[in-house]
Amino acid sequence: MRPWRVMPLTVRLDADTEHCLQDLLAETGQDKSSLIRQLIRERWQQRQPSASITQQLGGHPDGFLSTLPAGSAERQPRRRLLDQRLAARRAERA
């Protein structure tokens, strides 16, 4: 987070928006400044790209990707490896 630098901000609200603000203040028990800071942060976070499921779970387990042969992340080599493994399984069952 950035260091604090207090800067005055003046915002003109219409009557309806002021009423909404008063309702939010009564509901949350916050002062105007902290409520506005919170709402701005929440809105800013909504605009940030969300983390992938893998990132939310803490990333890939150690060694997960390093066990694959080089180049196997590409579509064609991956398909070839899968075909080879499936063919080997079919051969084992026959």
Query: Is the per-residue pLDDT at 87 higher than 80?
Result: yes
pLDDT value at residue 7: 80
Phi-psi region of 71 (alpha: psi -120 to 50; beta: other; left: phi over 0): left
Annotate 20-33 with three-state secondary structure.
HHHHHHHHHCCCHH
Q: pLDDT digits over 6-49, tens only?
A: 788 888 999 999 999 999 999 999 999 999 999 999 999 889 88
Q: What's the confidence (pLDDT) of residue 59?
A: 77
pLDDT in the model for residue 16: 97
Residue 92: pLDDT band with limits 50, 70, 90 = very high
How far is residue 15's CA from residue 24's CA, in Å, rounded to a whole number? 14
pLDDT at position 42, please? 94
Token pair in block for residue 18: 């002021």
